[in-house]
Amino acid sequence: MKHLFPMLLIAACGAAQAETPRQVGDNYAAAQGGGFRATASRGADFFARKFNVSEKFPACVTCHTDNPAQPGRHAITGKDIKPLAPVANAERLTDPAKVEKWFKRNCKEVAGRECSAGEKADFIAFLSEAR
C-alpha cells in the first residue's frame, strides 16, 4: 500500500494532461484569435508545400511521407517515424507539450520560422481527417 499512493498520483497527473486532437486543435485556433476556423485543406497544402529553406528537409513530407497515415522515415538518421495521423497512431495529438515541441522544431527546420497558431490548427485538422 505504501508504494501505491505515489503511483496513483502519477497516473492521475498523466491523465490530466492528455487531451483529444480536437481539444489540441481548438486551443491553437483560439490562440490565433479573430474567430479563426481551422481548415483541413489548408493543412494539407502546408504539409505538401516545398519551403526549400533547408536542402535536407525541403518539406514536412520529406520525413513524414505524403500520406500522414503511413509511417515516415527521418531524412538524415533513417530512423522510423510512426504515422502522424491519429487514425493510425492513437497517441498522436494528445499531448499538447509534445505537439508544441515538435511543431517548434520542425517548423523552424523546414519553414525557417515558427508556425502560426492558425497554421498549427489547420495542420491538426488535416491530420485528424486523414484516413
Give the residues lining the site for ligand HEC (CB under 6 A).
57, 60, 62-64, 74-75, 81-82, 84, 92-93, 98-99, 102-103, 106-107, 110-111, 123
C-alpha–C-alpha distance, residues 30 and 37, integer Å: 9
Q: Least CB distance from residue 11 to ligand HEC, whole Å?
A: 20
Q: Using CB atoms within 10 A of its CB, is residue 95 exposed (0-12), middle (13-18) or buried (19+)?
A: middle
Looking up cell 481548438 gives 26
**Shortest Cβ 129–ligand HEC spacing (Å):** 15
Residue closer to ligand HEC (CB basis): 36 or 61: 61
